[in-house]
Structure 1
């Protein structure tokens, strides 16, 4: 997590840094279980639906 935002949910890291600054033209794939830690370990979201939505909105290509 960076500044309290899990990496798979961090739009700044995935969109601004990776895609815009580094011109990433590929897939962002999390490791096994990383998206679930947004809710279960980081307590950043409270439902599975919110967890999936925040990961996809941030730029994680599951």
Structure 2
């Protein structure tokens, strides 16, 4: 049952990179929007990185 979690991790990394790139290219006008975009980017990249790291670490240990 590891596949869905690996897929969610990879998708989180992809969405985090997409939101981060969009934030850098199209600067929002107010600080609240910027904060929400940055928080979601950090959470998505953090979750995705954690899931993918655990998957790769388990694979190399086995």
Q: TM-score, normalised by structure 2?
A: 0.28
- The structure richer in helix per residue is 2
Q: TM-score, normalised by structure 1?
A: 0.28
